Amino acid sequence: MLQNLRHLISPDDLTVEETMQLLELAGRIKDAPSAYSDVCRGKKLATLFYEPSTRTRLSFETAMINLGGNIIGFSDAASSSAAKGETVSDTIKIISIFADIIAIRHPKEGAALVASLNSTVPVINAGDGGHQHPTQTLTDLNTIYSLKGRLDHLKIGFCGDLKFGRTVHSLIDALVRYPGNEFALISPDELRVPGYIKNEVLTRSGHSYTEVDKLENVIGDLDILYMTRVQRERFFNEEDYIRLKDRYILDAAKMKLAGEQMLVLHPLPRVNEIAVEVDKDPRAVYFKQVEYGVYARMALILKLLELA
Amino acid sequence: MLNISGLNDGIVLDHIQAGMSAELAKHLGLDKLDCQVATIRNCRSNKMGKKDIIKIEGGLDVVNLDVLGYFDHNITINIIHNGVITEKRSLKLPKKLVNVIKCKNPRCITTVEPSLPHIFFLTDEATQTYRCQYCEEPANK
């Protein structure tokens, strides 16, 4: 029985101190994985994926296996009782009897919160529609912290779909909690960061930001470039998607304009917004980011299960 | 001057923005009450120019104060006992609304799980912004 039932639904559910403790733990796991290979023996993680997501689900499952635990769950709604009309609330009441911890992905915004309100075990939001994806944020923070050694006084550029990109919203939310960060928001007019994030997150926290159309205009000033995919599934209109999807493509020529220490992150999957030629550039860390995601999720599972 | 008979025991919702009483009555579900309700529109008001008033026979428990506070927190509630005003209450913006308004975001979990209560929290008092507990979309009045 856990002393303090905690969930991770939004990045804000962790204080800055807790986030830093998690990142330190993730670093220790990376340095000595064998020390953690049996700490979750006998524990079960349920991965409830109501919509497909290869990477996030496998990252969670790898994290639990690396910790010596076991996995149950489903990878799409059609193979779950949701296909028969069962509510998220009911499903969670049942799964929390079987599992010690739950990771849920659902296409509807707020589904993970509903899950947490009905669970007797920790619930991790593995993405709820276009809303929150806090373990992607932890992954991003872990990558930046591990490779830059800090999360403050950074110049961070977000490029691409800043309107529907939940990873962007969550990461901005997380990074405004650290002093001195500056943001460059690079997107076409149609895919700008929503007003409430500019007003209620960036402005209110006193961080400066600029909105620009051209990546070339700011890339030379950045410590971090966070690229995103224009997501077909977020558009109601196929024409709009086709018009906007190729607007920003990061290639070797643009990388020449960037500083030597700049890092390129991407939540993946990539479509064509980063040319394959960039992959061999040492500043391209989006595949390393996947590895940092596993360590972050391992640390999170240990924290929520009160094993660290 | 139009003469409306006095209220012996009940409440008077005063300083309603002129023209808003019908919508407010709908949100308060006044048509479903068993007691008498009088709606007076376009009353002359020194403070507001014109205002609406709703008189309701019965106690304070017949109206949802959260609904009132959300739709117009400038309304004054006069509590009448034995024909005289015994108390005047002003309203505050409620911090939380439960099943007062519905989330209109088509991507919200409430659209597919109708048994969920619609819960909104006041997130910005200055702009009177309420956000859905689940999807965090702002409510539109």
A114 close to B (CB below 8 A)? yes
**Nearest-CA distance B112 → chain A (Å):** 8
Model pLDDT, residue A34: 97
A44 close to B (CB below 8 A)? no
Model pLDDT, residue B4: 60
Contacts of A111 in chain B (CB under 8 A): 109, 134
Taking CA–CA distances from A130, the nearest residue in chain B reads B107
Instruction: For B10-90, give the CATH class.
Output: alpha beta
Model pLDDT, residue A230: 82
Model pLDDT, residue A139: 98
| B1 pLDDT above the threshold of 60 | no
Nearest by CB to B112, which of A108, A113, A128?
A108
CB pairs under 8 A between A and B: 50
Hey, are the CB atoms on A109 and B108 less than 8 Å from each other?
yes
Model pLDDT, residue B7: 82
Contacts of A131 in chain B (CB under 8 A): 107, 135-136
Hey, are the CB atoms on B109 and A108 less than 8 Å from each other?
yes
**Rounded distance, CA A173 to CA A185, Å?**
14
Which DSSP helix (H) or strand (E) runs through A27? helix A16-31
Whole-model pTM: value is: 0.87
Interface with chain A: mutation pick from B105, B109, B113, highest number of A CBs within 10 Å: B109
If you count DSSP H runs as helices and E runs as strands, how many of each does chain A have, helices first?
Answer: 11, 9
Hey, are the CB atoms on A88 and B111 less than 8 Å from each other?
no
A115 close to B (CB below 8 A)? no
Q: Report the range out of A169-183, A230-244, B19-33 with the highest average pLDDT.
A: A169-183
Cis peptide before A269 (omega within 30 of 0): yes
**Nearest-CA distance B110 → chain A (Å):** 8
Crossing angle for the helix pair A16-31 and A286-304, nearest 10 degrees?
A: 110
The CATH 3.30.70.140 portion of chain B extends over 10-90
Nearest by CB to A131, which of B113, B123, B136?
B136
**Rounded distance, CA A62 to CA A46, Å?**
13
Name every residue in B having a CB less than 8 A away from some CB of A.
105, 107-113, 115-116, 123-124, 132-138
Please write the tens of the pLDDT for every residue from A64-116. Answer: 999 999 999 998 877 777 777 889 999 999 999 999 999 999 999 999 999 99
Name the token pair of B2. 């139009």
Percent of chain A past pLDDT 70, that is, above it, reads: 99
**Nearest-CA distance A112 → chain B (Å):** 9
Question: What is the arithmetic mean of pLDDT over B112-131?
Answer: 92
Hey, are the CB atoms on A110 and B112 less than 8 Å from each other?
no
Start-to-end CA distance of chain A, whole Å, equals 15
**Rounded distance, CA A86 to CA A74, Å?**
14
Hey, are the CB atoms on A196 and B110 less than 8 Å from each other?
no
**Rounded distance, CA B14 to CA B5, Å?**
16
The larger pLDDT score, comparing residue A164 to residue A206, is at: A206
Please write the tens of the pLDDT for every residue from A8-29. Answer: 999 989 999 999 999 999 999 9
pLDDT band at residue B51, thresholds of 50, 70 and 90? very high
Name the token pair of A304. 């929520």
Interface with chain B: mutation pick from A92, A108, A201, highest number of B CBs within 10 Å: A108
Specify whether the CB–CB gap between A271 and A106 falls below 8 A.
no
If you count DSSP H runs as helices and E runs as strands, how many of each does chain B have, helices first?
Answer: 2, 8
| Structural domains in chain A, sorted by start | 11-131+293-304 (3.40.50.1370), 135-290 (3.40.50.1370)
Indicate the average pLDDT of chain B: 89
Radius of gyration of chain B (CA): 17
Taking CA–CA distances from A112, the nearest residue in chain B reads B134
pLDDT band at residue A234, thresholds of 50, 70 and 90? low
pLDDT band at residue A248, thresholds of 50, 70 and 90? confident
Question: 3-class SS at A70?
Answer: strand
Catalogue the E-assigned strands of B84-124: 84-90, 96-98, 119-124
Contacts of A110 in chain B (CB under 8 A): 108-110, 132-136
A173 close to B (CB below 8 A)? no
**Rounded distance, CA A166 to CA A132, Å?**
6
The larger pLDDT score, comparing residue A183 to residue B36, is at: A183
Taking CA–CA distances from A87, the nearest residue in chain B reads B113
Specify whether the CB–CB gap between A66 and A33 falls below 8 A.
yes
| A197 pLDDT above the threshold of 80 | yes
Closest C-alpha to A284, from A301, A305, A306, A268: A268
